[in-house]
Amino acid sequence: MAEYLREATLALDLAESRFQLQLSSIVELTQSQLNQTEAEVASLNAQYDYQSMYAALQYAIGALR
């Protein structure tokens, strides 16, 4: 997940630079922004899922009361 987020960030930086130099369209920039947002959401969902499963495991073994 972290690699996907890193790649999306790099792609967004590249798209922003290309757009500023008028080498690409607003569509490419917007798509890169969307990809960045999706990568952030996926990363946060993965973190939430991990914490949720960890809490369930801790409860199952009696570590949580």
Over the stretch 17-50, which tens digit does the pLDDT of each residue have? 999 999 999 999 999 999 999 999 999 999 999 9
Please indicate, yes or no, if residue 38 is contained in any of the structural domains: yes
pTM (whole model) above 0.85: no
Domain with 38, as residue range(s), is 2-60
Please indicate, yes or no, if residue 16 is contained in any of the structural domains: yes
Please indicate, yes or no, if residue 65 is contained in any of the structural domains: no
CA distance 10 to 2: 12
Report the pLDDT value the prediction gives residue 31, as an integer from 0 to 100. Answer: 98
Nearest 10 degrees: Cα torsion 22, 27, 28, 34: 140
How many structural domains is the chain composed of?
Answer: 1
Confidence of residue 2 (pLDDT cuts 50, 70, 90): confident
Q: Classify each residue of 43-61 as buried b or exposed e, where b means 16 or more C-beta atoms within 10 Å of its C-beta.
A: eeeeeeeeeeeeeeeeeee
Report the pLDDT value the prediction gives residue 1, as an integer from 0 to 100. Answer: 76
Report the pLDDT value the prediction gives residue 13, as an integer from 0 to 100. Answer: 97
DSSP 42-60: HHHHHHHHHHHHHHHHHHH
